Amino acid sequence: MGKFGHEFLEFEFRPDGKLRYANNSNYKNDTMIKKEVYIGPLMMQELKRIIADSEIMKEDDGNWPQPDRVGRQELEVVLGNEHISFTTAKIGSLVDVQDSNDSEGLRVFYYLIQDLKCLVFSLIALHFKIKPI
């Protein structure tokens, strides 16, 4: 539980192409937003490429900041036969990354999270804003 209550942003890409998105924010007493969409095989292939190119599978969170009252960030990746999970304190900016004991590994994590969030927000926005003819 972070200092602002139980707020979270969560997304999951399933092997069948289902993208699940949930955003729970207490901003102006908002309720939880949940969306589900399906993405095609080419998008799944691109997602796997982004993850593989980041080289996150080579990282270890052992020297990353531990979650605290401000919050936590988690990432779980299953890519082929590889499975890895990361947990760290909430990263507010690159200053937090630079001040860590493993700044290079945490930088990989930080940029991958930013890329994945941008991808998810774009996919969700495009899916729910496009009106069929």
Give me the pLDDT at residue 111, please: 96
Which range has the worst mean pLDDT, 9-18, 21-30, 77-86, 99-108? Answer: 21-30
Tokens coding 3: 């200092």
Give me the pLDDT at residue 32, please: 85
**Cα–Cα distances in angstroms (integers) from residue 126 to residues 9, 13, 20, 54, 57, in the given order:** 18, 17, 15, 25, 29
Give me the pLDDT at residue 86, please: 96
What band does 13 get if pLDDT is binned at 50, 70 and 90? Answer: very high
Helices (DSSP H) in 10-132: which residue ranges? 41-54, 94-98, 103-129
What band does 132 get if pLDDT is binned at 50, 70 and 90? Answer: low
What band does 105 get if pLDDT is binned at 50, 70 and 90? Answer: very high
CA angle 114, 76, 6 (to 5 degrees): 75
Give me the pLDDT at residue 80, please: 83
Give me the pLDDT at residue 9, please: 87
Query: What percentage of residues in the chain have a pLDDT greater than 90?
Result: 65
* Residue that has been written with the tokens 């996150």 in this structure: 56
Mean predicted lDDT score pLDDT of the chain: 89
Give me the pLDDT at residue 133, please: 60
Give me the pLDDT at residue 128, please: 85
